[in-house]
Amino acid sequence: MASSEITHSPTDGISRRTLVCGALLAAVTGSAINMSSAAAASIPTAKGVKKLAGGKFQVPLASNPTLKKVGTILIVGESKGVPVALVSGSGNSFKAMALICTHAGGPLELMDKQLVCGWHGSVFGLDGKVKISPAKTALPSIKVSASATSVTVG
Ligand code: FES
């Protein structure tokens, strides 16, 4: 059999090409491919974010009405190459955190209202706390201040 020939497994129906493509995609994106039926959802980006001095972000609430709902998570920008997320709580309260796994710096994806690391499987709640190891510490939190019209992160 030539090395470029595509073979199919009779037991699982997944071709060698599919597996190789998945492995290459994982290498490019830095995340593992989840073959289960629960697909990882990407985290939406906040609209109308203004970058302020000192690396802060100002998020207008009028442009992001989903933040009125408790448990909404939005990416507001990047700090030193790491995505920064804003999560809405109750009563106009918010939490912001750096979206980088505290185990070994893996990327996080939103799945079933949890942040999952594709490298070794750590899971964090939307409050940033570790739910499943190997990570031991919560996601780095970032200062937040809210007014009636906007949220400032940083
Ligand atoms: S880097 Fe996230 S679990 Fe290891």
SS (H, E, C) the chain: CCCCCCCECCCCCCEHHHHHHHHHHHHHHCCCCCCCCCCCECCCECCCCEEEHHHEEEEECCCCHHHHCCCCEEEEEEECCEEEEEEECCCCCEEEEECCCCCCCCCEEEECCEEEECCCCCEECCCCCEEECCCCCCCCEECEEECCCEEEEC
Full residue range of the structural domain in which residue 137 is found? 36-153
Q: 135 CB less than 6 Å from ligand 1? A: yes
- pLDDT for the residue 61: 97
- pLDDT for the residue 18: 32
Residues 116 and 145 placed together within one structural domain of the fold: yes
Residues 51 and 93 placed together within one structural domain of the fold: yes
**Which residue minimizes the CA distance to atom 4 of ligand 1?**
120
Residues 24 and 41 placed together within one structural domain of the fold: no
**Based on C-alpha coordinates, what's the Rg of the chain?**
19
- pLDDT for the residue 41: 60
Q: 116 CB less than 6 Å from ligand 1? A: no
- pLDDT for the residue 42: 82
Backbone φ and ψ of 84, nearest 5°: -110, 130
Q: 108 CB less than 6 Å from ligand 1? A: no
CATH code assigned at 146 = 2.102.10.10
Nearest ligand 1 atom, CA 118: 2
pLDDT along the chain (154 residues), means of 10: 36 34 37 38 91 95 96 95 95 95 96 95 97 98 96 96
60-101 residue pLDDT tens: 999 999 999 999 999 999 998 999 999 999 988 999 999 999
